[in-house]
Amino acid sequence: MCNKVILYVAPNLSSFVINDIKILSERYRIIKNVYDWSNKIYVPFIVIRQFFFLLRKIFFVKAIIVSSGGYWAFFPTLLGKIFKKKVFIILNGSDCASIPSIKYGMLGKFPLKLVCKMSYRFASYLLPVSSSLVSVKNTYYSDDEFSFQGYKFFFPEIKTNYEVVYNGVDNQFWKPLGTDRKESNSFISVFSNYSQFIRKGGDIIFEISKKLPDCKFYIVGFDKPKQTINNHVIFLGKLNPEELKYYYNNSQFYLQLSVFEGFGVALCEAMLCECIPIGSSVNVIPDIIGDTGFILNNRNIFELEKLIRKAITCTKKKEKAKKARQRIVNNYSFEKRKNKLFSLLED
């Protein structure tokens, strides 16, 4: 019986977690262990609650999968090691980073950094969603000690096996709705309120909009601020997937101007809807985009303006848009992620 049961531990039911559970449910029965870890006051009580939950379940499972490093990963990895159960930690981004200037990353916080270090050491496998979460140097935002990121930079002594398992994106749902829908010189970007504002490049998107009054900029997930930006920056707030697909299909370009990005699921979704990507030279973003779009090498408003003007005057927009979709279908499908996860679990 235990060969058919997977314990899945997560700090929330994010879209990544829901997708993985859907994939794994094709072959296994899933036991979920999900609590709200966001309130630090309650973390010690949740840790104790989780410990006893794991003790009751661990004998009956084939393996444990943990979504992201964090406090929730400590006891699953420790007990997995004690009871000889395979434990996989999926590394998503902030669990491999520390960028104090934008208050981003788990590995700049004590005791969270220590907990991550011990969990990564106890785990059977680490499954980063891109190779850039293992080790990378990003000079797009700064060229100093904080341009070095990735868990091996912070914990070079950790010898745990790792396997890159890219996120999978549903190319049957995210698809073009018609070639004539694209609004000329329109740009879309997705980031949540304030917590992701600088990391996702919201500040330079607002700045560049002032220099390009003939372009429209759609912002998803971000509520309209009290101060007026200008009338060609349109705040759409939070959208459900169907609404988001509609706006991807009406936008010509997608902006992914992140300072740090573990993977870039929204970028892939937009490319599947034939948005031409414009991205920063950070982490895996250039690999995702390939030759289908445009890369900003430095976080500089003048370089960005030059790049966008090059993009809007490009004579091969339809060709690039179709290539963008095909690149995601070829490299970042649900099927590829599913096969990789099943292969690791059955190894």
CA–CA dist 171, 154 (Å, integer):
35
Same domain, 161 and 217: no
pLDDT at 1 (0 to 100)? 57
Let me know if residue 173 belongs to a domain: no
Residue 300, classed as helix, strand or coil, is coil
Same domain, 62 and 85: yes
Same domain, 274 and 192: yes
Amino acid at 102: I
Same domain, 339 and 317: no
The gap between the terminal CA atoms of the chain, to the nearest Å, is 18
Same domain, 114 and 18: yes
Which of 175, 167, 185 lies closest to 324, judged by CA?
A: 175
pLDDT at 113 (0 to 100)? 97
Element (H, E) at 212: none
Let me know if residue 177 belongs to a domain: no
Same domain, 20 and 160: yes
pLDDT at 145 (0 to 100)? 83
Q: Residue 70: which domain range?
A: 2-168+334-346
Low-confidence ranges of the chain (pLDDT < 50): none
Let me know if residue 141 belongs to a domain: yes
Q: Count of domains in the chain?
A: 2
CATH classification at residue 88: 3.40.50.2000
80-118 burial string, b = 16+ CB within 10 Å, else e? beeeebbbbbbbbbbbbbbbeeeebbbbbeeebbebbbb
pTM of the model: 0.94
Same domain, 32 and 110: yes
Let me know if residue 94 belongs to a domain: yes
Same domain, 252 and 324: yes
Bridge partners of residue 58, in order along the sequence: none
Residue 82, classed as helix, strand or coil, is helix
Same domain, 38 and 109: yes
Same domain, 246 and 207: yes
Same domain, 259 and 277: yes
Let me know if residue 178 belongs to a domain: no
Let me know if residue 312 belongs to a domain: yes
Let me know if residue 28 belongs to a domain: yes
Same domain, 109 and 135: yes
294-296 vs 233-237, strand pairing mode: unpaired
The DSSP-derived string for 96-135 is: G--BGGGTB-GGGSTTHHHHHHHHHHH-SEEEESSGGGTS
CA–CA dist 68, 115 (Å, integer):
12
Let me know if residue 176 belongs to a domain: no
pLDDT at 228 (0 to 100)? 63
pLDDT in tens, 101-147: 999 999 999 999 999 999 999 999 999 999 999 999 999 998 888 89
